[in-house]
Amino acid sequence: MFDLARSRASEREQLRIADLMSLTPPGDRVLEIGARDCYLSRRLSDLYREVVALDLQRPVVDHPGIVPVQGDVTDLRFGDGTFDTVFCTEVLEHVPPEKLVRACDEIERTTSRYAVIGVPYRQDLRADRTLCRRCGTVNPATGHLNRFDRRRLEALFPRMRVVEARLTGQGRAVTNPLSVWLFRLCGYPYGSYDQEEGCIRCGAPLERPKIGPGRWALCFVARTLNRMQFYLYGRRRPIWIHLLFEKCDSAAPAAPVASSRPHSVR
């Protein structure tokens, strides 16, 4: 079973969070989209007077300056420019592709100045697929429906400019056509079944299928190929891309950003 507290405490997750916090400029009001347990909302409360913590289900939190609300990134119930910053990380990869442009438009509309965006970087969506035993849907790992790089993110936020872009973390599951074919043949028994997300189609919890010796042998070949690919290439791949956007029509001087590490990211 997925353990969010354990995931938060991992070295990789702490690296991601530290990078996001150092990228985020201070201000008065911030909207965090996808707040979940409000772990990051608490961190943001050190930078903002008021943090609005939004998720599909209203977060449960009792912390000064944090206002929990129920909402959807594709239909934000706030006026134009309500927040100094909109903070949206580990969310856009889950948005159905047909709603992605709408979600990004809502982020642009509700911020008066900045948007902090964090998503997986050039993720191989074929890796770690799962199979729903209820409806038969093949799911991408952790329900990720979209693949991003800097160019695509800039296209999704046409009325904003990139102040800073960072690539963070090392290593991400990679795969190849032969491994994908073998895993499909065996029913995807080695996918990310310990994830928090259910089936992208019916919402059912995902259960790892049991396999016999023949399928195990085929999967052993597929996993060996993936390991070889990872050691040759995957360890050098960043996991996330983090971008600080600013509205193009913003006239105020830029706020300082701590631990700035500018570099070219595509």
Quick check: is 257 in a domain? Answer: no
- Tell me the CATH number at 211: 3.40.50.150
Residue by residue, DSSP assigns 24-54 as PPPEEEEEEES-TTSHHHHHHTTTEEEEEEE
Looking at residue 261, what is its pLDDT?
A: 43
Residue 148 buriedness (CB in 10 A; 0-12 / 13-18 / 19+): buried
Quick check: is 93 in a domain? Answer: yes
Q: Which two tokens stand for residue 180?
A: 């994908």
What is the average pLDDT across 9-18?
A: 92
Which domain range does residue 65 map to? Answer: 4-247
Residue 236 — very low, low, confident or very high, per pLDDT cuts 50/70/90?
confident
Among 39-53, 162-176, 225-239, name the most confident range.
39-53
User: What Rg do the C-alpha atoms of the chain give, in angstroms?
Assistant: 20
How many folded domains does the chain comprise?
A: 1
Cα 209 to Cα 205: distance, rounded to the nearest angstrom:
12
Which residues touch 146 (CB under 8 Å, ≥6 apart)?
A: 92, 93, 95, 97, 100, 119
Locate tokens 């290593």: which residue? 171
Looking at residue 8, what is its pLDDT?
A: 86
What is the average pLDDT across 40-49?
A: 98
Quick check: is 262 in a domain? Answer: no
Instruction: Identify which of 150, 144, 146 has the alpha carbon closest to the alpha carbon of residue 166.
Output: 150
What is the average pLDDT across 38-59?
A: 97
Quick check: is 85 in a domain? Answer: yes
Quick check: is 149 in a domain? Answer: yes
Residue 72 buriedness (CB in 10 A; 0-12 / 13-18 / 19+): middle
Quick check: is 209 in a domain? Answer: yes
Looking at residue 121, what is its pLDDT?
A: 95
Quick check: is 21 in a domain? Answer: yes
- Give per-residue pLDDT as tens, 206-225: 999 999 999 999 999 999 99
pTM, to two decimals: 0.90
Is residue 258 over pLDDT 80? no
Instruction: Identify which of 186, 187, 190 has the alpha carbon closest to the alpha carbon of residue 175.
Output: 190
Quick check: is 125 in a domain? Answer: yes
Is residue 259 over pLDDT 50? no
Looking at residue 264, what is its pLDDT?
A: 40
Dihedral sign from CA coordinates of 152, 156, 161, 163: negative
Note whether 242 and 165 are within 8 A (CB): yes
Give the type of residue at 84: D
